[in-house]
C-alpha cells in the first residue's frame, strides 16, 4: 500500500490534543446541595476529570480517537496495489464507432465505456501514467502519457460519438509503438468487440485487458443501398434497399420512402450545377411492411414512377438499441446531356445505337480530322487509335489504346465466345449466346485490365482504368459480326454509356461514413466555398489556391452534405453507415488475439485502488455512533 498524500498524516496531531482535553480538570460551578446520595454518577465523573490522573476506560474517547485516525488515513490517500506494479504505463483504447452509440446500456455504450475508463484513471497510483487513444475509422491520440488525473478525465469525457465503422489496426499500431518506450505497459480496450484484429497489428510485449461494453444484440438495420437505372426505354431509376435482422427474434418492420426537392428527370446542360435551392417540401412516396426472421436479409426495390425527387430519405421503423442504421439517404442524379464523339470512317450501326440514348448528343468526325479532344464525356474510336490519350472515357473498337503493356497481333477467324462476366455492369440483362464473329484481333492485355467476354484464343471485350483514363476495348469489327442484329447490341451500349456516366455520378455523390469527399474548385477561385455537413458537425469554409480539388475526410456523421458556392448548392453528397459489422451490435465476450482468446473483464477494472473514500465513510459512521453515545449519556445524566 502506498500513500499519495503523506503530509495528511500530520492530522494525527489531533490525537494527543483530544487526550489532553480528557486529562485537564473541568471548571465547575459550586452549588450547595442537601445530600450527595443522588449524585454518585457525578462524583465518578469528577474523579475521572481529575488533572493528570490515569486515564480510565471511556467509550467516547475511544470513538473520537477512531474518528481522528480514520480521517488521518483518508487525508494521506492510501492506495492498494490490486494487480499492477508501481509505475505502470496504461494505454487506453476507447471505441467510439457507430455501434458504441447503442442504447442497450444507458445512456449509451460509449458513455458506459468512458465511465469505466475514468474509474481506471481514479485508481491510478503514484508514478502511474496513462495514454488515451480513441478509434473508429482510424485512430487518434487524445493524450500522450500523463499523470494528471483531472486532465485525463477531461480528455476521456470529451470523446464524441461517431457514425463510422470500426478499424482497429491503426489504434493497435499506436499502442504497440507507445509500449516500446513505456515502463510496464498494459493496454485496456473499452469496446463492444465488433472488430477483427489484423495479423501483425499486435505486439506480444503488451498485456491486453479487454473490457466489453453492451448487453443486447437485438437490432435490425439498413445495410445496403443502391441507386441504378433500369433497362426500360425510359431508363428510369430504381432504388434497392438491403435490410437485415441481426437479432434472435422475428421482427415486423416498416420501411418508408420520403422524397424532397424537384423531380430529377429533366435533362440539364453539361455545365449546369445543382439547383440554387431545393424545395424543402418533404412527402411520403411509398411505404412497405414486411417480416424478417432471425438473421434474415431482405432486399426492397422501389421503382421510379417518373417523379423521383432529388433527395430520397429512407426510414426504417424498427425500435431497437441502434438508430444509426435505421435511416439512409440517396441522391437521384440530375440528368445531364452526354456529349459523345465518334471517330470513324463511317459506321451506320454505331451512329444509330449511340443516338438511341435520349441524353446523348452525338458528334461524328473522321480519323484524319481528329485532333486533341475537346470536352467530351465519351470518345468512341472505330478501327482507329490516336497516338496518345488524355484523361477521359474511351471506347476502342477493333483497336487497342496507346498505353503500355497492350499489344495487338494476328487476325483470328471465327472465334467462339466461351464465357462472359455476368456480374459486371456492362453485361447486365445481356445474353451473348451464339454470337457470330467472322474475325477478330488477337490482343495482349495488362494484368490489371478486366476481361468481360472471351474466346478460346483471345479476350473479346475488356474494361480498364489507368489513373484518370477509363475505357473499354472491343477486339472485333462490329461489321464482321451479327451483333447489330441481336437484342443484346443496344442493351450493351446502353450499359456502356451508363457505366461511364450515370454510375460514376452515383459513386461520387453517395458515400459511406469515413470516406473522403472530393470538392471541385468553383469557377471563381477567389470566392470562398462552404460545406454544410449534418449536425453535430460544424460548417466549414474553404479557399482554393489553384485548380486542385480539396479533400474533406471528416465524414463522421451520416446525412446530406451540401457543398455551396455563392450561386447556391454546387453539389450534394449522401453519406450513410451501411455497415453490417456495425449493425451486428451483440457484444463479444472475448477477443481473438492472433489465435489467443482474451476474455472480457465484466467486473469493474481495478489496477490500483484508492480507499480514502471508504475511510472517510467509516469515520462518518464512527462519528454518528459517538454522537449517539453522547446523547444517550447526557439523557441519563440529568
- What's the per-residue H, E or C state across 307-365? CCEEEEEEEEECCCCCCCCCEEEEECCCCECEEEEEECCCCHHHHHHHCCCCCEEEEEE
Identify the residue with better confidence: 99 or 74.
Answer: 99
pLDDT of amino acid 298: 93
CA atoms lying within 13 Å on the CB side of residue 46 = 10
How far is the CA of 482 from the CAs of 247, 345, 436, 478, 551, in angstroms?
Answer: 53, 20, 6, 8, 48
Whole-number pLDDT of residue 541: 92
**pLDDT: which is higher, 252 or 629:** 252
CB hemisphere CA count around 382 (13 angstroms) = 19
CATH number of 221-333+577-583: 2.60.40.10
- Taking residues 56-76, what's their average pLDDT? 76
| Element housing 496 (H / E) | helix 488-500
Question: Which pLDDT belongs to residue 274?
Answer: 47
What would the pLDDT profile of 440-481 be if each residue is shown by its tens digit? 989 999 988 999 999 989 999 999 988 788 999 999 999 889
Please give the angle made by the CA atoms of 71, 73 and 76, to the nearest 5 degrees: 110
Q: Model confidence over 86-101: pLDDT tens digits?
A: 578 999 999 999 999 9
Q: What is the mean pLDDT of residues 138-164?
A: 94
DSSP label at residue 200 = T
Classify domain 89-215+587-606 at the CATH class level: alpha beta
DSSP 265-312: -SPBPTT--S-SS----EEEEEEEEEEE-TT-EEEEEEE--S--EEEE
Query: At CA 548, angle to CA 545 and CA 554, rounded to 5?
Result: 90
Task: Report the percentage of the chain scoring pLDDT > 70.
Answer: 82
Residue 272: per-residue pLDDT: 43
Task: Please provide the DSSP assignment of 53-112 as one string.
Answer: PPPPP-HHHHHHHHHHHHHHHHHH-EEEESSS-TT-EEEEEEE-SGGGG--SSSS-HHHH
pLDDT at residue 53 is higher than 90: no
Beta-carbon contacts of residue 285 (< 8 Å; ≥ 6 apart): 257, 258, 259, 302, 307, 308, 309
pLDDT digits (tens, 9 = 90+) for 273-284: 444 444 457 889
Q: Is the pLDDT of residue 34 over 90?
A: no
Q: What is the pLDDT of residue 634?
A: 67
Residue matched to cell numbers 449546369: 272
Check: CB of residue 322 under 8 Å from CB of residue 98.
yes
Instruction: Quickly count helices (H) and strands (E) in the chain.
Output: 11, 34
Report, as an integer, the average pLDDT of 416-439.
86
Of 277 and 558, more confident:
558
| 44-58, 116-130, 244-258, 489-503: least confidently modelled range | 44-58
The 3-state DSSP class for residue 592 equals: strand
Q: Which range scores top for mean pLDDT: 41-55, 146-160, 420-434, 482-496? A: 146-160
Q: Does residue 504 carry a pLDDT above 60? A: no
Look-up of cell digits 441481426: 246
Measured distance between the N- and C-terminal CA atoms of the chain, rounded to whole angstroms: 48
Q: Is the pLDDT of residue 354 over 60?
A: yes
pLDDT over 90 at 497, yes or no: no
Q: Taking residues 407-412, what's their average pLDDT? A: 89
d(CA 453, CA 448): 15
- Please give the share of the chain, as a percent, with pLDDT higher than 90: 40
Mean pLDDT of the chain: 83
pTM (2 decimals)? 0.66
- SS3 at position 113: helix
Q: Is the pLDDT of residue 123 over 70?
A: yes
With a cut of 50, say whether residue 84 has pLDDT above it.
Answer: no
**What pLDDT shows up at residue 65?**
79
Which pLDDT score is estimated for 473?
Answer: 94
Beta strands 78-81; 608-610: pairing state: antiparallel
- Say what the pLDDT of residue 531 is: 94
Same fold, 221-333+577-583 and 509-576: yes
Q: Is 213 or 81 the better-scoring residue by pLDDT? A: 213
The pLDDT tens digits for 570-619 are 889 999 999 999 999 999 998 887 677 888 886 545 555 567 777 788 88
Find how far residue 287's CA is from the centre of its chain.
28
| Domain spans in the chain, listed from the N-terminal domain onward | 2-79+613-637, 89-215+587-606, 221-333+577-583, 509-576
What is the reported pLDDT for 273? 46
Question: If pLDDT is split at 50, 70 and 90, which confidence band does 150 have?
Answer: very high
Q: How confident is the model at residue 166 (pLDDT cuts 50, 70, 90)?
A: very high
C-beta of residue 229 within 8 angstroms of C-beta of residue 304: no
CATH number of 509-576: 2.60.40
- Give the least confident one: 57-61, 146-150, 596-600: 57-61
Query: Roughly what angle, to the nearest 10 degrees, separates helices 149-157 and 109-122?
Result: 180
Closest CA to 416 of 449, 438, 441: 438
Which whole number is the average pLDDT over 132-140?
94
pLDDT at 269: 42
pLDDT (average), residues 327-343: 85
Selected residue with higher pLDDT from 530 and 6: 530
Three cell numbers at 82?
490490486
User: What pLDDT is attached to residue 279?
Assistant: 47
How confident is the model at residue 464, as a pLDDT? 92
Instruction: Output the pLDDT for position 476.
Output: 92
Amino acid at each position: 500500500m502506498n500513500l499519495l498524500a503523506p503530509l495528511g498524516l500530520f492530522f494525527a496531531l489531533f490525537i494527543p490534543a483530544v487526550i489532553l482535553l480528557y486529562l485537564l480538570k473541568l471548571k465547575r460551578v459550586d452549588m450547595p446541595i442537601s445530600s450527595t446520595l443522588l449524585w454518585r454518577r457525578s462524583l465518578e465523573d469528577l474523579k475521572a476529570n481529575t488533572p493528570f490522573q490515569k486515564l480510565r476506560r471511556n467509550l467516547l474517547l475511544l470513538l473520537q480517537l477512531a474518528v481522528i485516525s480514520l480521517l488521518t488515513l483518508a487525508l494521506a490517500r492510501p492506495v492498494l496495489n490490486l494487480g499492477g506494479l508501481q509505475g505502470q504505463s496504461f494505454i487506453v483504447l476507447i471505441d467510439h464507432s457507430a455501434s458504441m452509440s447503442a442504447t442497450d446500456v444507458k445512456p449509451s455504450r460509449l458513455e458506459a465505456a468512458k465511465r469505466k475508463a475514468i474509474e481506471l484513471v481514479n485508481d491510478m497510483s503514484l508514478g502511474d501514467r496513462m495514454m488515451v487513444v480513441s478509434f473508429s475509422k482510424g485512430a487518434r491520440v487524445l493524450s500522450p502519457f500523463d499523470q494528471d488525473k483531472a486532465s485525463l478525465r477531461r480528455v476521456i469525457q470529451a470523446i464524441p460519438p461517431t457514425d463510422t465503422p470500426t478499424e482497429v489496426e491503426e489504434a493497435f499500431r499506436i499502442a504497440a509503438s507507445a509500449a516500446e518506450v513505456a515502463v510496464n505497459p498494459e493496454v485496456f480496450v473499452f469496446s463492444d468487440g465488433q472488430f477483427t484484429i489484423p495479423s501483425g497489428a499486435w505486439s506480444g510485449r503488451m498485456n491486453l485487458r479487454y473490457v466489453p461494453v453492451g448487453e443486447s444484440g437485438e437490432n435490425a438495420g439498413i445495410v445496403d443501398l443502391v441507386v441504378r437505372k433500369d433497362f426500360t426505354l425510359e431508363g428510369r431509376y430504381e432504388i434497392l434497399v438491403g435490410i437485415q435482422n441481426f437479432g434472435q427474434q422475428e421482427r415486423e418492420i416498416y420501411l418508408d420512402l420520403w422524397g424532397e426537392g424537384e423531380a430529377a428527370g429533366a435533362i440539364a446542360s453539361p455545365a449546369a450545377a445543382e439547383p440554387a435551392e431545393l424545395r424543402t417540401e418533404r412527402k411520403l412516396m411509398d411505404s412497405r411492411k414486411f417480416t424478417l426472421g432471425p438473421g434474415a436479409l431482405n432486399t426492397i426495390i422501389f421503382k421510379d414512377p417518373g417523379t423521383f425527387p432529388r433527395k430520397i430519405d429512407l426510414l426504417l421503423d424498427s425500435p431497437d438499441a441502434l438508430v444509426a442504421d435505421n435511416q439512409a439517404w440517396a441522391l437521384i442524379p440530375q440528368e445531364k446531356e452526354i456529349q459523345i464523339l465518334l471517330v470513324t470512317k463511317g459506321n451506320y450501326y454505331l451512329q444509330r445505337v449511340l443516338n438511341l440514348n435520349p441524353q446523348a448528343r452525338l458528334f461524328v468526325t473522321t480519323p484524319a480530322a481528329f485532333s486533341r479532344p475537346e470536352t467530351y464525356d465519351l470518345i468512341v474510336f472505330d478501327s482507329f487509335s490516336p497516338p496518345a490519350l488524355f484523361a477521359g472515357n474511351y471506347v476502342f473498337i477493333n483497336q487497342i489504346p496507346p498505353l503500355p503493356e497492350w499489344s495487338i497481333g494476328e487476325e483470328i477467324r471465327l472465334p467462339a465466345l466461351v464465357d462472359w462476366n455476368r456480374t459486371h455492369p456492362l453485361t447486365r440483362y445481356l445474353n451473348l449466346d451464339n454470337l457470330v464473329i467472322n474475325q477478330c484481333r488477337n490482343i495482349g492485355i495488362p494484368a490489371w485490365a478486366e476481361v468481360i467476354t472471351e474466346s478460346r484464343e483471345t479476350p473479346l471485350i475488356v474494361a480498364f482504368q489507368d489513373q484518370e483514363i477509363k475505357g473499354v476495348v472491343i477486339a472485333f469489327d462490329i461489321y464482321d459480326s451479327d451483333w447489330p442484329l441481336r437484342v443484346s447490341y443496344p442493351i450493351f451500349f446502353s450499359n456502356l454509356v451508363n457505366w461511364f456516366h450515370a454510375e460514376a455520378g452515383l459513386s461520387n455523390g453517395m458515400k459511406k461514413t469515413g470516406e473522403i469527399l472530393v470538392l471541385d474548385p468553383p469557377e471563381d477561385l477567389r470566392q470562398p466555398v462552404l460545406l454544410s455537413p449534418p449536425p453535430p458537425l460544424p460548417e466549414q469554409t474553404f479557399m482554393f489556391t489553384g485548380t486542385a480539388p480539396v479533400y474533406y475526410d471528416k465524414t463522421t456523421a451520416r446525412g446530406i452534405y451540401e457543398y455551396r458556392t455563392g450561386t447556391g448548392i454546387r453539389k450534394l453528397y449522401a453519406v450513410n453507415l451501411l455497415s453490417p459489422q456495425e449493425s451486428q451490435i451483440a457484444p463479444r465476450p472475448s477477443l481473438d488475439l492472433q489465435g489467443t482468446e482474451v476474455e472480457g473483464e465484466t467486473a469493474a477494472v481495478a489496477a490500483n485502488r484508492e480507499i480514502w473514500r471508504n475511510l472517510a465513510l467509516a469515520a462518518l459512521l464512527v462519528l454518528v455512533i459517538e454522537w449517539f453515545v453522547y446523547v444517550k449519556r447526557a439523557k441519563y445524566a440529568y
